[in-house]
Chains A and B, each alone.
Chain A
Amino acid sequence: MLTSRERVTMAIEHREPDVVPIDFGGMDCSGGIHGLAYEKLVKYFGLREEIRIYDPIQMLAAPSEFFLKKFGVDVVSVLRSTPPTGLTEQDKRFKDYYLLESKLKIPEEIDITRGDNGSEYMRAWFSRDASKRGTIVAKRNPSACYFDHLPVYIPFKDVDKVSDLKELPPHHWIPEHSDAGLKTLRKNAKWLCENTDHAIFGMSGAGIFEMTIYLLGFEKFFRSLKANKEVVERVVNLLVEHNKIELKKYLDAVGDYLQIVGIGGEDLGSQVGPIINPKDWRELFKPAIKELVDMIKSRTKCYVMVHSCGSIKPFVSDFIEMGIDIWNPVQISAKNMDPHELKKEFGEDITFWGGGSDTQHVLPFASPEKVKDNVKELVEIFKPGGGFVFNQIHNVQPETPPQNIVAMFEAVNEVRRY
């Protein structure tokens, strides 16, 4: 039997391993589970676990070893807590946080304050520049399950001139690595690599297209595309230059120990189609993203994954041309994303990491039997010839019943053998 690392590697190389590899929480931005859904899952199995949130914006929790074994999971995130960086240290660095009626744990350094009417505001605790740590970067309304940045933090919303775009503002999705943080991460990565046989994923956080929109806001972005392209070009330039510096540090720290490095988010599509004309994307964004791909390829032996949500079929051949090995999350619930067509057209040239269960319509709402049917159908479509790592399409949402999560993994385990 293959190790998890061998299995994932074979799949990415378009060779059929012994079984389809499974990811659950390894791709730590979109392949995981909301803390409230995880809490229900933990209770369902009668376990007593602290629900530790590693992503305070999306409120994601890392599945414990129990679930990795139970569900046959092959991939872990480089952020996963390990003995050296340690349970003891981690205990000290988490604090209580109440989300709706649930008690969770969040990293101690996360700066959340309560505002009017019970809303909460998150500040830029992550910024290397201490003077910017007071910036409000996200908000959670009292009844919401997440923090969100778009309604409250659009740093370049009012910019009209290129000369106003001098430097990037702090943003939780623009990486700012500290030496101490990278040292800890390296220790973590080394331990995972040498003491487990999991495939290890690391999200570099280097993203261009989606971040351009977050910084300008949709309205300014679209207006600028039409009438003031230099503004878009300048933001792209700021992002690529910053990301090259941060990515180099990240790869130098952990590149030897990871098998997969993620870039993005590069969400290019909405539910129904591309956000912008692919022709414009190729002119303004593709070259910058290619620089990041080339850097990963030249500095490491890692496979490159791009995270891009939505109806994005017109871009997949570009991903392949750029040397990207893996595409996540493969949102087959969006328009024009038929899994048969995707596999037929692109299956030999790019690995599908995702697409395994419809997290918008089926996983949260259907019966466990229907969840199983959905998963089995999708696995049978994507698995031939390798080039497939099973993951549900995006993070398991808070309202998803634990029975459905169990059904999903039962189904994939029933049909994963080659």
Chain B
Amino acid sequence: MKADLNELEKTIIEGDVGKTVGLANELLEKGTEPRKIVDQLRHALDVVGKEYETGGFFLAELVLAGMAAKEVMNVLKPSLASTTEKRTLAKVVLCTVEGDIHDIGKAIVEMVFTGAGFDVVDLGVDVPAAKVVEAVKKENPDVVALSALLTSTMVNQEIVINELKKAGLRDNLIIIIGGAPVNEEFARKIGADAYAADPIEGVRKIELLL
């Protein structure tokens, strides 16, 4: 089984989306616990994340690994639903903020977060703060993740945080931001809990804060 799990990890790291689904199904048929497969996915994404941070891997490899991991999670979902263990590490409400219709970064985050075992509620793009507040009330997430690609829309990340405060919801949430123009300093300035330069760093930071 260990060899099979290692093989699955290898195909995630290589971004071989087609092969991972087959391997995941085989592992389940052989009686592998779904939780062990999720742990292997997480390890694979950690390896990919480290390679990405140090310049060994590029955006292409990050995205392919995220796609592969997400496909495996889709295979595992029914099995995970039937276990008594806590199904997911955390629930995340994710969106691109108002005024911004870019969804590439958000899509990569969604893939990697799902692949890492998070339950992701994707609100889409150009999402007004009021809609984020409504989603938080409905979904009761652990995390709100906000993406912005433009200098003219990143300010809306702060507006979302302020609206969550007004609604009395802020204190029970981990708020993480990302996107090309934002950084740690901006995250601190607007009262976010974390900033992540890439989705795998985002997974790590959320886990530290949970």
Interface residues of A (CB under 8 A from B): 139, 141, 143-145, 148, 150-151, 218-219, 222-223, 225-227, 270-277, 280, 335-336, 359-361, 364-365, 397-399
Contacts and interface: CB of A to CB of B under 8 A. Distances in A.
A271 B180 contact: yes
A271 B183 CA distance: 11
Nearest to B98: A143
A274 B183 CA distance: 19
B197 interface: yes
The 9 A-B residue pairs whose C-beta atoms are closest, nearest first, are A271-B180, A143-B99, A276-B60, A360-B181, A275-B59, A141-B126, A397-B151, A274-B58, A222-B60
A145 B104 CA distance: 18
B58 A276 contact: yes
Contacts of A144: 99-101, 126
Nearest to B18: A227
30 contacts: A141-B99, A141-B101, A141-B126, A145-B99, A145-B152, A151-B101, A151-B102, A151-B125, A218-B63, A218-B104, A219-B107, A222-B15, A222-B64, A223-B17, A223-B64, A223-B67, A226-B15, A226-B64, A270-B180, A273-B52, A273-B58, A274-B59, A275-B58, A275-B59, A276-B59, A361-B181, A361-B183, A364-B151, A397-B152, A399-B151
A349 B64 CA distance: 36
Contacts of B152: 145, 397-399
Contacts of A225: 60
B198 interface: yes
Interface string B45-76: 00000001001001111011001000000000
B142 interface: no
Interface residues of B, number: 32
Contacts of B64: 222-223, 226
Contacts of B55: 273, 336
Given A144-B100, A145-B99, 9 more contacts: A143-B99, A145-B152, A219-B107, A222-B60, A226-B60, A227-B17, A275-B58, A276-B60, A277-B60
Nearest to A227: B18
Contacts of A141: 99, 101, 126
B16 interface: yes
Nearest to B180: A271
Given A226-B15, A227-B18, A276-B60, A150 B180 contact: no
Q: Is the interface of A mostly helix, strand, loop or mixed?
A: loop
Contact of A139 (B101, B183, B198): B101
A238 B107 CA distance: 28
Nearest to A334: B180
A227 B197 CA distance: 27
A365 B101 CA distance: 22
A273 B57 CA distance: 9
Chain A CB count within 10 A is highest, among B60, B126, B155, for B60
Contacts of A274: 58-59
B103 interface: yes
Nearest to A151: B101
B150 interface: yes
A365 B15 CA distance: 39
Nearest to A398: B152
Interface in B96-117: 98-104, 107
Contacts of A365: 151
Contacts of A218: 63, 104, 107
A219 B67 contact: yes
A272 B60 contact: no
A86 B190 CA distance: 49
Nearest to A146: B150
A145 B180 CA distance: 17
A280 B150 CA distance: 29
Given A227-B17, A274-B59, A150 B98 contact: no
A296 B99 CA distance: 39
A272 B101 contact: no
Contacts of B16: 226-227
Chain A CB count within 10 A is highest, among B58, B61, B100, B103, for B58
Contacts of A276: 58-60
Contacts of A219: 63, 67, 107
A274 B107 CA distance: 18
